[in-house]
Structures are given as structure tokens and as C-alpha cells.
Amino acid sequence: MDWYPGPDEDLLIRTPATFATGLAPAVAGCRWFRDTGRHDIQGDLPNWPTAPAFTLRSTSDRAARRTGRALLVGIPLILNVIAGAGSAVGSPFGGVPTRGNPEERENEVEDFPVMWAAPGTVARTVPWQLDPSRRPDRYATDAVLTDRRLVFLGNQQASLSKADELWEVPRKDIAGARQMKFSEIGGDVRLTFADGSWIRLFAGSPESAGRLAQLINGSIHALTEADLTEGRRYRVRDFRQELPKGAEPPTFTLLKSGTVQVECRVPAKAGQGRVETHSILMSPSGGPAKPKPGDL
């Protein structure tokens, strides 16, 4: 592992984190940095490298992108139907991409700010390396939430060197978080700071986005391995042995019913910056458990 929390803090979650990317036709593939008057502030962010300037998509470009996406969705759908007709198990050509409905037209359809920040606010201080358009090739950024702070880390992909601590903010300066489901895989999360500024990030998977938001909002509680019963620790040991190579250390969450959820993230083969989340639910003895109402 390329980074460890301090001796006086507990790691709650580590997840990929980059500025999100627009999905609706007019803003597809784009992102903007705005003040509260909806003015572009890229030029006002000190020491940020230049990046391509995005403009709203034209009507013809929107139509082309819609057609391209229909093909991307339609081909695997057709092939999976064929496979199903032959009694194949599962979906050999992958799942059909899904997305939610826009929750904020002004910020997801007509515009796509990933930073909303008045002068002097916290959001303006986040690191430029979060921007896929600015950072070096094969450079990855993660968000780490501990019981004391939120940290952004950076490192070359597949590197064993120590990760760079790019930025941090105390937990008290974070007002809340919200999973933004209008994205290709539901993996966006918006972090709002105490001063009202916010950033929108892609967290690699819908599970990571949802869990980060829940932990920040206090709707679920994190545990350490030392908090587990002996039976649960034995089950975690077996679970870790079953994981693919490259899996990161597990995180432990106490759900409303008293069930403990264990999650490990593994880099996904589907694309750079995405992760697969492997998880189990455990009873106090370490045996399998099922979620109960209000747990997930």
C-alpha cells in the first residue's frame, strides 16, 4: 500500500477521485469550473496548468453522440439476447450501460460545473491533478476519508512508490455529500464544504460514491478490524484470500441492523480509474447475513 493514515486516525474509505464528466448531450465529455455567478474561473485558479476549453455541444454533435451511444448500448444488448437464447449463463458481452435521470438541469443538462466556488472558498483550493485534462498520463488520484480529514492522493498507476498527499481538509469543514446518480454508472458524488462551495467527483463505482457520501453524512458507521468479533475476523481472513490480486485492504461498516459489511476494492479491467467492489455481509459470529430494511 502506498499510503497509510496517521497513528491517531482510522481509515474509513479510499476511492478513485477525479473531476466528473458531463453526460447529457449538450455537455457530454465536458466539465466547467464556476463561481456563484456561473462565470468560468479556470483562469483565476492559481498555478493550474492550462487545459482544453470546453463549449456546449452543437445540435448536430449531440445527435451524433446520441447515435454512437445507442450503438454502444444496442450491440451488447442484442448479443446478450442471442447468448440468452442459447441458455448461456450471465452476460458474456457485459452489462448494458445505465444512467439515472437528471436531478439538476442547470448543473447536469444545460451546464456541467465540477467546481462551484466563490473567491476565497475551500473548493478553489483543491488540487488541479483531479482534472483528467490537466494531469500527466497514467497519473491516478484517490480520495481518502479518515475519522479526522479528507485527503486527496496522487501517484503513477501501478507504482509502488509512496503516494503524494496533494491536499487535505478537516472533517469539520465538510458540510455533506450526495451521490449524483445521473452518470454512466452512477459513480459521481458531490462534496459540499461548510462555506457553501462544492466539487463534483467521479468515484470509480456507484458503491464507492454511495459509501463515501454515507460516511461523510454519518448515516453509517465505520469500524476497524480490532472492533470485530473473533468469528468475524476469521471470516475476513478467508474473504481476503479469495480476492483477486491487487485488492486493497478492507473497510468495515456497521449497518443499522448490527450487520457488518466488509468491502475491498480492486482495480477494474473495464477502464482507467474504475474499480470493482467486492463485499460480504457478516453476522456477529462471522456467518453470512442478509441486508435488512434500512441497511443499504
Q: Which helix (H) or strand (E) holds 223?
A: strand 221-223
The 3 state secondary structure assigned to 9-44 is: CCEEEEEECEECCCCCHHHCCCCEEECCCCCECHHH
Q: Which of 208, 207, 183 is nearest to 107 (CA)?
A: 183
User: Looking at the DSSP assignment, which residues form a beta bridge with residue 5?
Assistant: none
267: pLDDT strictly greater than 90: no
In the structure, what pLDDT confidence band is assigned to residue 245 with cuts at 50, 70 and 90?
confident
Q: Does the pLDDT value for residue 194 go beyond 90?
A: yes
| 180 Rama class: left (phi>0) / alpha (psi -120 to 50) / beta | beta
Tell me the sheet residues that pair with 149: 170
φ/ψ of residue 128, rounded to 5: -65, -20
Q: Pick 178 or 89 by higher pLDDT.
A: 178
Q: Are 206 and 214 in contact (CB under 8 A)?
A: no
For residue 169, give the 3-state DSSP assignment: strand
pLDDT tier for residue 221 given thresholds of 50, 70 and 90: confident
- What helix, strand, coil percent values describe the chain, rounded to 5? 25, 25, 45
Of 65-74, 195-204, 228-237, the least confident:
65-74
pTM of the predicted protein model: 0.77
- The reported pLDDT for the residue numbered 276 is 82
Q: Distance from CA of residue 269 to its chain's centroid?
A: 16
Asked which of 5-19, 190-204, 255-269 is least confident by mean pLDDT, the reply is: 255-269
Q: Where in the chain is the domain with CATH 2.30.29.30?
A: 11-58+97-219
Give me the half-sphere count of Cα atoms (radius 13 Å) on the Cβ side of residue 174: 25
Q: Which 8-state DSSP code applies to residue 264?
A: E
Average pLDDT over residues 11-34: 95
CA dist., res. 14 & res. 17, Å (int)? 9
Calpha distance 215→252 (Å, rounded) = 11
> For strand 275-282 and strand 260-267, is the pairing parallel, antiparallel, or unpaired?
antiparallel
Grid coordinates in use for 15? 476511492
Chain mean pLDDT for the chain: 85
Q: The domain 11-58+97-219: what is its CATH number? A: 2.30.29.30
Task: Please indicate whether residue 85 or residue 187 has the higher confidence score (pLDDT).
Answer: 187
Residues 80-136 pLDDT 10s: 333 333 333 333 434 444 567 899 999 999 999 999 999 999 999 999 999 999 999
DSSP code of 63?
H
- More confident of the two residues 270 and 275: 275
What residues contact residue 119 under an 8 Å CB cut-off, 6+ apart?
Answer: 35, 44
Mean per-residue pLDDT, 32-37: 98
